[in-house]
Amino acid sequence: MDDLGLDIVRNIFCIESIKGEILKNLGILYKKMADNSDNNELSAILSKVCLLNYLLAKKLGISYARLELDMLDLLKKNDLEYLSKEDVTSLYEHIGRRTKE
């Protein structure tokens, strides 16, 4: 197999590994929430899921900046009806500050 073929195989393996890690950590998160785990544990798991999503986006050819701009667009549309306006506004401002840095 040539170098290009190996790179493709490595990327596919990496993408599948990240997807598996995301699913595994979401399962852990649900279990920890059901067990009323403390916020430190929940924060660590949520942080890992967020990082894995950024890494997956990058492997799929989506820049971190593009991902964050798309998140801002979703928040601007406010399709998340179950969230309060304050929650949406706070997150929008947080991500917006980061995209300007």
Q: Do 82 and 51 lie in a common domain?
A: no
Q: Do 43 and 78 lie in a common domain?
A: no
What is the pTM assigned to this prediction? 0.87
54 contacts 64 by C-beta, under 8 angstroms: yes
- Ordered per-residue pLDDT tens for the chain, 101 residues: 678 888 899 999 999 999 999 999 999 999 999 999 999 999 999 999 999 999 999 999 999 999 999 999 999 887 778 888 898 899 999 998 877 76
CA distance 73 to 90: 14
- Residue 41 is given by DSSP the state H
CA distance 94 to 91: 5
Q: Do 1 and 46 lie in a common domain?
A: yes
- The domain tally of the chain equals 2
Which structural domain range is residue 85 located in? Answer: 63-101
Q: Do 74 and 97 lie in a common domain?
A: yes
